[in-house]
Chain A
Amino acid sequence: MTTRSASRRALRVVGGLAVAALTLSGCSSDDSGSSDDSGDSSRKADSGSSSDKLSGTVTVFAAASLKESFHALGKTFEKQHPGTRVTFNFGGSDALAASITSGAPADVFAAASPKTMKTVTDHKDAKGTPATFVRNQLEIATLPGNPKKIKSLKDLTRSGTKVALCAEEVPCGAAARKALDAGHLELTPVSYEQDVKGALTKVELKEVDASVVYKTDVKAAGGKVAGVEFPESAKALNDYPIVPLKNAPNAKAATAFVDLVQSARGQKVLSGAGFLKP
């Protein structure tokens, strides 16, 4: 489709401008430095030697649901490699994929679904093959104490129940759609949120009665929401792929961060947050 490629080009121009702006504002990173790679990597970096010197900034684009666990892993990474800084861009996986394919300067992409990752690999922006590092299961988030007595996915379809779902472009929205289809349920939400945290926030603010989010989000919200498990969620598990990016400004550090996420230590943080083993 010619229109597609034309608009892609347009987006690339926009992306290029964004890159330029970011570079000007000091978001650049240099690949020289001196610190010893002492991470407990489960797999060797496929490029460098065993003593990779890491420094500079690592920019990680990650699905909104990874916020809490990746923040913790970022701190770990900075401790392991003094002189590095990990910056995050959390959002809906589809929006992140779109900004990567239009040239945003990212080192690592962690998506909440293979489909959104495919956008990036199809565009030849990934370095190597994405690896699934965790899985996530849906759960209903409702008001503390569950005043609406929501016990199943079907209860969300009752009239007078306000529900926020993720937009279907976003992995949590696609998964929710899958779960609803598995239960043969029709559900009209009041809003299609841009990412899973948006859907969760609407419950925290008590603006809706419930939303369909991930187990990890319910856990991260602490006592602000109550979680309700439902059997259909087993039919809509999400795989989370992660990959270093081809045009990474800081390629070595990108690989090291991916290694950390897949290492025993990284996996421990992720399971602690409620993610399932791949």
Chain B
Amino acid sequence: MNSTATLASRRFRPGFWTAVFVVTFLAFAIVTVLRFTKGLGAVTNLSDQFPWGLWIGFDLLCGVGLAAGAFTLTAIVHLFNLKRFEPIVRPTLLTGFLGYGFVIVALLLDLGQPWRIWHAMVYWNPHSVMFEVAWCVMLYTTVLALEFSPIVFERFGLHAPARLIHKFITPLVVLGVILSTLHQSSLGTVYLIVPSKLHSLWYSPLLPLHFYISAIGAGIGMVILESYLSKRAFGRHLEMDLLEPLARGMVVALGIYGLMRIQAIYRNHAFGTLLDFGYEGRMFLLEFVMGVILPVVLMSFRRLRSNPDWLVGGAFLAVMGFVMNRLNVSITGMEAASGIRYIPSAMEIIVSVGLVATGMAVFAFAVRNLRIFPEGPVTESQVPEEGA
């Protein structure tokens, strides 16, 4: 068993990483206490001019995007019946779950009165995109939990409930894909209401579609990245035979998305803003050239796609492009209209970093204890003892 040997030799040094994690988490806890005793103004750089910042732009918008790989792959495997991709469904479900975890934590911190979050279930306003967003968060988190639950059930030998879920897997996956489609796009719809505020390089009546398609592209990119990171951390091999065709899918999604963006800018007569190379123009070029054009061009070559290093590089660019896009829509593109420059406070950044750190820790914990990867959990029983 070659794989168990590498698993043992390449595991994290628990000492160092645990220390990093503990420090980050403590800082996170302190910020949380300050947030709820001194108010949002004391910990964030948010203001009446700039009411939404990093927690919405990164934690929420990108957290939801993280989960795009889950619905894409469950659809590929269960609906399009391409069963060979099955081995990478579980890590994407786990990531999706973590992504929604980000969103919920971000909401609990960012909402002025998070203890009233249930109000969205009682006081309806179907005219509000935020109302749709709230329901999508609730319902899709439930669906993800159900889709993920067999992995937990099987760990404890509970085969009856696992089988039960399996019976309903098709309607569950369909529901998950519908909710995801709604949710990914609704985050774009959120910005439809600010035609006079969002910069014309990003505003478009088709924003919901932009958000949806770019999420699919980045979701696939994230699957590739994750496979690579788990390879580094746990000494797994890269499933190149699965990842290469996925990269092709990523090129198609990003390609369509890129064309839509260009069309939107043309419609807005916004190409002029690129020529004077101002703040927005530079940020746009960074996002679009690095995060869309470059990965599409690179990943179009079979030779590069089949090379693990290039493949991971291309996926990394796509994911970064996605993150930059969400930050540009929520922050860069809104700054001119607000009249101020928003730079997140150190405490806002601590929360975002803390979330990412927690996400990675939970991922590692799950991988060690559950059968996330086909070769089974990386548990103490398999790995010759080496601390915990």
A and B, one complex?
no
Mark B residues whose CB is within 8 Å of A: none
